[in-house]
Structure 1
Amino acid sequence: MTLSDIDVGETLAAICEAAAGVILPLWRSGLTVHSKADESPVTEADRRGEALILERLAAAFPDVPVVSEEDASEFGTPDQIGPVFFLVDPLDGTKAFVRGDPNFTVNIALIVDGRPVAGAVTAPPTGETWFTRAGEAWKRVNGGAPQPVRVRAWDPATALGLISHTATEEQIRNLTDQYGFVRTQAMDSSIKLCRIAEGAADIYPRHGPTMEWDIAAAHAVLLGAGGSLSTPEGEAFVYGKADKRFRNGWFVARGG
């Protein structure tokens, strides 16, 4: 199987859903939480999910390199990367997972020339999967028939901004003043971008650190749904920043 043979997003969706099947039984199971070198949490769910994803990607796309979160945490990120590669976050929102909250996701993105051209995101607790197909964004629930998703038009009277649980009241005020949304909802993980993609929210400004694998898959879905993700200055957001160890700067994800 090669990248030209198939619609990659659908294959990535199937792999994400298989990983979700490994991860979900471990949710709320009282499993041990370990600390990585950067003191962020990691669990057996992260590790099992990543092992399955790496195995499936190697079988389907043996010539395409992969940059994945847990492997990078243990062995470091590559010093350089070619124009085509996968980004994998087997469990984005580990803190939510550990708390028992449902907003955590499985993420795989295909990057070509710095852009996320295909991606899939699965939310294991709800069985929701968002993925790209033929340049558009689709969603299915528990393996059901996929339906297209689309961002909604911006309404300044009701605009909903998604924020991180760690945002302070002062930070929230600054963000609402700067970006013009009037309602907020706190949420973990890349699911925020998917909620914008399906028209359930309008904007997610991130004035803080993330890694490329945190958002690339959901970025692909958002693009397919007619949304955008850029720097706060409106510049293109690129992937493959090996010289920065795949760290992201600030960004703003928008719907219509």
Structure 2
Amino acid sequence: MGKQLESLYQIALEAGEAIMALYHSHVEVSEKDDRSPVTAADLAANAIILDKLAELTPDIPIVSEESAHIPWSERRNWQRFWLVDPLDGTKEYLRKNGEFTVNIALIEQGSPVMAVVHAPALGKTWLGDGHQAWLVSKNKREEIKAKSADKPVVVGSRSHPSPMMEEFLSKLPVYQLVAVGSSLKFCLVAEGGAQYYPRLGPTMMWDTAAGQCIAESAGAKVKALDGMPLRYDREELLNPHFIVSLPS
């Protein structure tokens, strides 16, 4: 595993510590323009990540959910940039169910090529470099691979159930449905615990880039419904619907 990915891992751990320091306290919640919740934990993690990434790679710009959005006129010329969600799954954080993550991804030529997804309450971290993926848990690091199952597991969102899911499920002769929050859904596919993650509801770029990199690094594929790869060199921050699955 490369030195830069190791640095990314350490940054995510530090952000996770800031999140957990506030986890069991009274959580002050405010509302963003899109009416989604934001907490002091989101902002604390964001400040750490932006500061540490600026130290690590001062020449690479950063797009974060909790930072001012940079206009497409500027972003369109970027060959590389960091895409960050300092606390993915704020609703899960508020419910205190542990299913929230720190997401950091490096985008090159529109594709995520290196990433970390850290679940501080679960004590787990997933890492990907575009070719290999690893799970770090209890100070043990193991390579993970997406794999098939006789009874495929379909992982869906706990916070955003989609009516389009029924149509997708009707095409599978047999399956087991599991609800999980945040980008943990990508990670379940990456480690072989699930075989499908159909996302048929809204997500933003920062929600998916790190998880996509982990899944693809483990051998899964992430495609929009038209079969095209999910890319990040576009003006629209809202993602199209997509499906994470095993290669056919």
Scaled by the length of structure 2, the TM-score of the pair is 0.92
Answering whether residue 176 of structure 2 is matched by residue 183 of structure 1, we say yes
Answering whether residue 248 of structure 2 is matched by residue 252 of structure 1, we say no
Give the CA deviation at 1:91.
0.2
In the alignment, the residues of structure 2 paired with residue 180 and residue 216 of structure 1 have an alpha-carbon distance, to the nearest angstrom, of 30
In the alignment, the residues of structure 1 paired with residue 117 and residue 54 of structure 2 have an alpha-carbon distance, to the nearest angstrom, of 19
Q: How many residues align?
A: 242
Q: Name the counterpart of 1:37.
A: 33
Give the CA deviation at 1:181.
5.4
Q: Name the counterpart of 1:239.
A: 232
| 1:180 to 1:58, Cα distance in 2 relative to 1, 3 A | farther
Q: How does 1:151-162 map to 2 (within 5 A)?
A: 151-155=146-150, 158-162=151-155
Q: Name the counterpart of 1:139.
A: 135
Answering whether residue 145 of structure 2 is matched by residue 150 of structure 1, we say yes
Match of 1:167 among 161, 165, 172: 161
Q: Name the counterpart of 1:228.
A: 221
In the alignment, the residues of structure 2 paired with residue 160 and residue 191 of structure 1 have an alpha-carbon distance, to the nearest angstrom, of 14
AA aligned opposite 2:119? A
Q: Residue deviations 1:60-107, cap 9 Å, x none?
A: 100000000000xxx333323201000000000000001111110001
Unaligned 5+ segments in structure 1 are: 1-5
SS across alignment from 2:8:
helix
In the alignment, the residues of structure 2 paired with residue 199 and residue 189 of structure 1 have an alpha-carbon distance, to the nearest angstrom, of 17
Answering whether residue 105 of structure 2 is matched by residue 109 of structure 1, we say yes
Q: Residue deviations 1:23-82, cap 9 Å, x none?
A: 0121132211110000000000000000000010000100000000000xxx33332320
| 1:124 to 1:76, Cα distance in 2 relative to 1, 3 A | same
Q: Percent identity?
A: 36
In the alignment, the residues of structure 2 paired with residue 237 and residue 35 of structure 1 have an alpha-carbon distance, to the nearest angstrom, of 28
| 1:204 to 1:22, Cα distance in 2 relative to 1, 3 A | same
Match of 1:212 among 183, 205, 213: 205
In the alignment, the residues of structure 2 paired with residue 134 and residue 236 of structure 1 have an alpha-carbon distance, to the nearest angstrom, of 14
| 1:207 to 1:173, Cα distance in 2 relative to 1, 3 A | same
- RMSD over aligned CA atoms reads 1.6
Q: Name the counterpart of 2:70.
A: 77
Scaled by the length of structure 1, the TM-score of the pair is 0.89
In the alignment, the residues of structure 2 paired with residue 197 and residue 37 of structure 1 have an alpha-carbon distance, to the nearest angstrom, of 33
> Please, which moves more after superposition, 98-107 or 227-236?
227-236
In the alignment, the residues of structure 2 paired with residue 236 and residue 109 of structure 1 have an alpha-carbon distance, to the nearest angstrom, of 16
Match of 1:118 among 114, 121, 128: 114
Checking the alignment, whether the CA contact within 8 Å between 1:197 and 1:255 is kept in structure 2 is no
Q: Residue deviations 1:170-212, cap 9 Å, x none?
A: 5442220145551111111001100110111111101111111
Q: Name the counterpart of 2:186.
A: 193
Moved over 3 A (4+): 178-181
Unaligned 5+ segments in structure 2 are: none
In the alignment, the residues of structure 1 paired with residue 101 and residue 244 of structure 2 have an alpha-carbon distance, to the nearest angstrom, of 18
Q: How does 1:41-80 map to 2 (within 5 A)?
A: 41-71=37-67, 75-79=68-72, 80=74
Q: Residue deviations 1:101-135, cap 9 Å, x none?
A: 11100010000001100000000101101102472
AA aligned opposite 2:161? A
Checking the alignment, whether the CA contact within 8 Å between 2:88 and 2:183 is kept in structure 1 is yes
Checking the alignment, whether the CA contact within 8 Å between 1:150 and 1:197 is kept in structure 2 is yes
